[in-house]
A and B are shown apart, each in its own frame.
Chain A
Amino acid sequence: MNDPAIRLAGLRKAFGRNQVLRGIDLTIPAGRVTVLMGANGAGKSTLVKILCGVHGADAGTVTLDGRPFAPASPSAALRAGVVTVHQNINDGVVPDLDVASNLLLDTLADGSGTFLNRRRMRERAREIAAAVGLEIDVTRQVADLSLADRQLVAIARAMAHDPRLMILDEPTSSLSAVEAERLFDLIESLRDRGVAILYISHRMSDIRRLADRIVSMRDGQIAGVFEEAPLDYSGSVRAMLGHEMTEADITIPAPGRTVLEVSDLVLRPGAAPFSLVARENEVIAITGLVGSGKSDLAGALFGLAPPLSGQMVLDGRPHRPTDARAAIAAGVYMCPKDRLITAVVADFDITRNITIPFLPRHSRASFLSRGSERRTAERMIGEMGVICQTPMDGILTLSGGNQQKVMVARWMAEASRLLILDEPFQGVDIQARRDIGHKIRATAGTRATIVFVAELDEALEIADRILVMSEHSIVGEHRNENIDVSAIMAEVVEAAPARAAGLQHG
């Protein structure tokens, strides 16, 4: 059963000037689970979208069972036997319909006849469900099902097409450990029936559980293929992250007073409790793969979602913010990731974007002082080196790097006790990255600073101390001095125990 199901040769794709796929050669054999790893922007999702008919490739060929395969639309890909289960579960199901209608949705969409025969539909739906071992009442509304069951419905629906290749894009990201286990069993039974599986994930525990082979992508190219048992997991992560080390010229200063003390924090059920201390004049980088819990930790510190248990102490007083406002009032500021969604106010100019959180400082009896705002904006534009015509430029006229400088400036305009920066180098050019990193370090003296980054290079560039997160817990701590990169890599990958504990607690 090892005949190649899908073969990609010289696949290229560009969006405008941005080369996303730069010559992909890859086979995805039938009857095996191929795990695809890659950091954000490596080109994974573009690759998937070409395979499932959303985009066309610019160059290169795809063959499916020896025949050329170039689907013009998602439904063409489906008919040819390539099915995709998306990360966002609700993309795969229609919540307002019952299970039977969902299972037969594709036949409804391009079937013939106008009226529905309820009884026949249910019978056919039951057959489809049984074929994947899904035990479910097909008359139930999908909206009433758990996320896991919805996903199984989406997979069962896909299976009705007798697929040759099944693509699963981060399928466990919203499942509990027990639910994920059910999914894994299903995937294995599909594999044993000769379906080629392309499984996209960052979760090492999933990968260990399922992978027959691992393909690592980086910058639009295949960076490594690992298929000899035992699989080289850390090798695959290294290939995915790359490690062209920038010379880290970090001189670690003497840390000052303790600002934040976190003890026995539990971020999600089953995750191991952890503790950490952040001090003045110290920049901590917390690194880990996507989904390792970095954002959850940032959210707990900034009051977006309280931790399940454990204590946070800020300057000797309990720190239990109920929302962002409370956190800001306590002196904890956060520059969030995904700036265009979570930070940039598109209708505002640079000045107004900078002054949003601290308007009381710029107003008297609620009336704003334009002069005070402009002075702060000019000062911050100068300090951060934002390249712009005037402080009244619209924020969207700036490049990504300059937008990010403005977002960082927003939170550096006032003194903080703890400054959290979540992926501050996301979508930022190299010069802006240097400027922002330098500024963060230069101003760190009077506060504690925690930077969350997925890329190890970025952590090495900015931090005095590097903490490694995995499975929603901190699994390693390193002083950024003569650092052993492979040890950190191993910790990034290492995680099985916490997940196993999760299985027992459900």
Chain B
Amino acid sequence: MDNRTSLVDLAIRYGFLVLMAALIVFFGIMAEGFLTPFSAVFILQSVAITGILALGVTATLVVGGFDLSIGAVATSALMLSSYVMVVWEMSALSAVLICLAMGAFVGLINGLLVVKMRVPDLLATLGMMFLLVGAQRIPTEGRSISTGMSLPDGSVANGKFSEAFLALGRHRIDFIAPNLVPLSVIFLIAIAIGVWVFLETTRHGRLMYAIGSNQQAASLAGANVNRYKIVAYMISGVLASVGGILLAARLGRGDVASGNNLLLDSVAAALIGFAVLGASKPNAFGTAIGALFVGILLQGLTMMNAPYYTQDFVKGAVLVIALVFTFALSGRGGRARG
């Protein structure tokens, strides 16, 4: 009996890491060139943006909320940064700052909707998602933004993406091999560490976890529940806009069709994160691993020439399995909804 329970415990704790290791071995054997630094960097690069978004979702999950608008915030930041540079012909720095402010503002509105207007979190952020998907296309009448495009008033946009801005998404740092690690990966690692430190080692993070576990108890212990919830949505909004900026810098144009998968991938990463090390709760480390897991899976499948729809299917299946790990096996289904 004891043996069995400890086996289940082990499975819950390390099951996902073992699965990931197995996956790497499997692709290493099956797909030629999978186990090279370049392939690893490619995975990290593909993971960087979804990972950053997923860390934002994690912040809202910690306070017992949820943010469905992250994908739309990211694509809005993509369009906004392009518009600022191409149409308004402003600098890279102003583009970045305006986008970050936009993300913070959207997060503030989300938070106010949830906290003050008492709209359920899923509905509030779903509404915000639709709003943003529409709003980001209004200024250009639904067209993508690039240098030389004609504007609705007939004039031609002459601004262009500055080199400094493009470097955010394209510059590579010498590490092991020259020009290997993209800057966006550095951002991901820095943000993951930052979110982890904030959630695990500061009193603010501690109170946010308390709010997510028992809001009433946290409130009666003197926590400012409303403020922390709003902060969580603002973190989510800002990180989503960071993701959007990196996407714009990588693409070099304001592409209306990009970023369709951002929401699904990043939510999947955050929820898979519940299962890592049997945490059964949202956490920054798990989220980063979750994002990496999704990246490895997709890269491996791509290198094995699996068609794109299989990838969506596999992603969904992995998410469902991760949720089973979290809720059924650990028997602590009380927390969070997914």
Contacts and interface: CB of A to CB of B under 8 A. Distances in A.
Contacts of A328: 222
Contacts of A344: 214, 217
Interface in B193-227: 201-204, 206-207, 209-210, 212-214, 216-224
Contact of B203 (A324, A336, A347, A359): A359
A360 interface: yes
A342 B216 contact: yes
B335 interface: yes
Interface string A146-158: 0000000000000
B220 A324 contact: yes
Interface in B212-259: 212-214, 216-224
A447 interface: no
Contacts of B217: 341-345, 356
Interface residues of B, number: 23
A352 B209 CA distance: 11
B331 to A, nearest CB: 11
Contacts of B210: 345, 348, 352, 356
A370 to B, nearest CB: 9
B214 A324 contact: no
B202 A368 contact: yes
Given A346-B334, A366-B203, A368-B202, A334 B209 contact: no
A410 interface: yes
Interface string A345-378: 1111000100011011011001110000000000
Given A347-B281, A352-B206, A324 B221 contact: yes
A325 B224 contact: yes
B335 A347 contact: yes
B221 A366 contact: no
B207 A356 contact: yes
B202 A366 contact: yes
A346 B211 CA distance: 11
A211 B223 CA distance: 46
Given A347-B209, A368-B201, A368-B202, A356 B334 contact: no
B204 to A, nearest CB: 6
Contacts of B223: 325, 356
A343 B201 CA distance: 22
A260 B241 CA distance: 51
B202 A367 contact: yes
Given A345-B217, A346-B334, A348-B213, A368 B206 contact: yes
Interface in A291-333: 302, 324-325, 328-329
Given A328-B222, A345-B217, 4 more contacts: A341-B216, A356-B218, A359-B203, A359-B206
13 contacts: A302-B220, A324-B219, A328-B222, A334-B220, A341-B214, A343-B217, A345-B214, A352-B206, A356-B206, A356-B210, A356-B217, A360-B203, A366-B202
- 6 closest pairs, A vs B, by CB? A359-B203, A347-B213, A357-B221, A328-B222, A356-B221, A325-B222
Interface of B: 201-204, 206-207, 209-210, 212-214, 216-224, 281, 334-335
